[in-house]
Chain A
């Protein structure tokens, strides 16, 4: 929703003249990366009275994020003029409204400010918790739909049953990444892959394989660039605003890269284990 611009009390904003000589400037940048939307707020406040209220903890910088379609509505607050709000992108769809503020964090009585427009002089002003002291520039972010099926890792990884292998083997010399499992393990994998522990199984099988893949790339990435799996991985990183070259040059540790691609695999796996254990305890 849009917050309106007329308030029953003075608000510091570029849109009105409630204050003289004071300013509140904001810039907002948003970036999608590996399943998260990061919204960065930078604000610059030029007003000593309001700054003092923030120092005293009576007011705070705030970033309000709302996605009408998915009923997402959250406020992020800080005494710091820089706020990074992280929202899982599956909580959002389409249009997202972002509003920066400075908000009263508690009741503020007898508010006075030498910068106030003369119009307000002599009136006692009280702010309630949640009232707006300063209003920055609102931003609308539009998230584009991604084809969930094609961005998924499964399109480039195949798990096969091996008659001869004694351990898990990853082979890279084909359009897909082939993970070979010993036959007994494969059969168990096939039986359980769709079960309540499917994320846990992904962590067991895919996570170490991806680590292996990224180490291979570090050694010689040119060798693989023709393969589809290489191109898809490169795309995945590009879409998430992380240069793929960072893996090769070591800026991005391979362990981290693998976890990024799987989007918090440990958390997902432990959540499953926790749920299963809870269910058993009941």
Chain B
């Protein structure tokens, strides 16, 4: 099948009139959504082919987030990055073709009528870049895109697996809101350093991610980090984390 975009009008209607429409989100009112999107001009059929992925709706998000990053990225690997930054595409998938995933992944927020999270999960409400890592579907694709390691033939998702292994929502935002992680050599270098420490028994926490980014921000003020190879970034981050956290000795920090 083809991906269906929301028309610009529809997107604005849903966003602007969220207060009016929100009961339908709370009630997971498929009949209402189906009728709404049947109206003429609501959806635009794109030229982008897409096989609906088999998403994991398991009880444990720690497991399903990783599985779903793979499922979404595998089925939509052919999106260009400029397509993958379009709100109309992700809002369309969230409302129409993959609505069941939204109901699954933010079930608690829907139950608690957490309007802010419902909106940020289905629309882009956090700025052009940050939204990509907050929107409930876009973030699956983007984490896949940013962590996919094609040089690792047996399991190109090995860094993804590590990334998704804890604290998924927070990691997405903390890690990818940095400008440096736009460079894949830098992203992979940092993740490889963290994986190495994990393999030595360090319990990787948010503080380790924050420190890695902080250190790059400081260093990036004086040098152009993009000149570094993946291995050089890995070494630099590893050295820094060992120094700051005293390695295994003081590994419990927070």
The chain A residues found within 8 Å of chain B, CB to CB, are 1, 3-4, 7-9, 62, 64, 66, 68-75, 77, 89-94, 101, 103, 105, 128-132, 149, 152, 194
Query: A-facing mask of B76-92, CB < 8 A → 1, else 0?
Result: 00001111110000000
**B183 touching A74, Cβ below 8 Å:** yes
Which of A71, A90, A91, A93: most chain B Cβ within 10 A?
Answer: A71
**A90 touching B82, Cβ below 8 Å:** yes
A48 vs B50: C-alpha distance in the bound complex, in angstroms? 57
Task: Count how many chain B residues have C-beta atoms less than 8 Å from C-beta atoms of the other chain.
Answer: 28
A73 vs B146: C-alpha distance in the bound complex, in angstroms? 12
Closest chain B CB from A54 CB (angstroms):
15
A7 vs B221: C-alpha distance in the bound complex, in angstroms? 7
Closest chain B CB from A98 CB (angstroms):
13
**A68 touching B223, Cβ below 8 Å:** no
Given contact pairs A90-B81, A94-B128, A71 touches B146 in the complex (Cβ within 8 A): yes
Closest chain B CB from A72 CB (angstroms):
6
Closest chain A CB from B126 CB (angstroms):
13
**B179 touching A1, Cβ below 8 Å:** yes
A-B contacts, 15 of them at CB < 8 A, read A7-B221, A7-B222, A64-B224, A70-B81, A71-B81, A73-B182, A75-B224, A75-B227, A77-B227, A90-B81, A92-B82, A129-B227, A129-B232, A132-B223, A152-B47
**A103 touching B80, Cβ below 8 Å:** no
A8 neighbours in B (Cβ, 8 Å): 222
A129 vs B227: C-alpha distance in the bound complex, in angstroms? 8
**B223 touching A130, Cβ below 8 Å:** yes
A89 neighbours in B (Cβ, 8 Å): 82
**B129 touching A73, Cβ below 8 Å:** no
Given contact pairs A68-B128, A71-B146, A71-B182, A91 touches B224 in the complex (Cβ within 8 A): no
Which of B82, B142, B225: most chain A Cβ within 10 A?
Answer: B82
Q: Other than the known A69-B128, A72-B81, A130-B225, what 17 A-B pairs have Cβ atoms closer than 8 Å?
A: A1-B179, A9-B222, A68-B128, A68-B179, A69-B85, A70-B81, A70-B82, A71-B81, A71-B132, A75-B224, A91-B82, A93-B82, A103-B227, A130-B224, A130-B227, A132-B223, A132-B224
Instruction: Tell yes or no: B226 within 8 A of A by CB.
Output: yes
B residues 167-181 touching A (CB-CB < 8 Å): 176, 179-181
Residue from the list B80, B128, B224 in contact with A62, Cβ < 8 A? B224
Query: A-facing mask of B3-28, CB < 8 A → 1, else 0?
Result: 00000000000000000000000000
The chain B residues found within 8 Å of chain A, CB to CB, are 47, 49, 80-85, 128-129, 132, 142, 146, 176, 179-183, 221-228, 232
A77 neighbours in B (Cβ, 8 Å): 227
Q: How many residue pairs between the two chains, A and B, have CB atoms under 8 Å in the bound complex?
A: 82
A71 neighbours in B (Cβ, 8 Å): 81, 129, 132, 142, 146, 176, 181-182
Residue from the list B132, B183, B222 in contact with A73, Cβ < 8 A? B183
Residue of B nearest to A198 (CB): B49
Given contact pairs A69-B129, A94-B128, A101 touches B183 in the complex (Cβ within 8 A): no
A194 neighbours in B (Cβ, 8 Å): 49
A130 vs B47: C-alpha distance in the bound complex, in angstroms? 43
B183 neighbours in A (Cβ, 8 Å): 73-74
Residue from the list B132, B181, B223 in contact with A131, Cβ < 8 A? B223
B176 neighbours in A (Cβ, 8 Å): 71
Residue of B nearest to A68 (CB): B129
B228 neighbours in A (Cβ, 8 Å): 129-130
Residue from the list B81, B146, B224 in contact with A101, Cβ < 8 A? B224
A9 vs B222: C-alpha distance in the bound complex, in angstroms? 8
**B226 touching A75, Cβ below 8 Å:** yes
A152 neighbours in B (Cβ, 8 Å): 47
B226 neighbours in A (Cβ, 8 Å): 64, 73-75, 130
**A66 touching B223, Cβ below 8 Å:** no
**B223 touching A128, Cβ below 8 Å:** yes
A130 neighbours in B (Cβ, 8 Å): 223-228
**B222 touching A91, Cβ below 8 Å:** no
Residue of B nearest to A7 (CB): B222
Residue of B nearest to A1 (CB): B179
A8 vs B219: C-alpha distance in the bound complex, in angstroms? 11
A7 vs B49: C-alpha distance in the bound complex, in angstroms? 49
Residue from the list A62, A90, A132 in contact with B83, Cβ < 8 A? A90
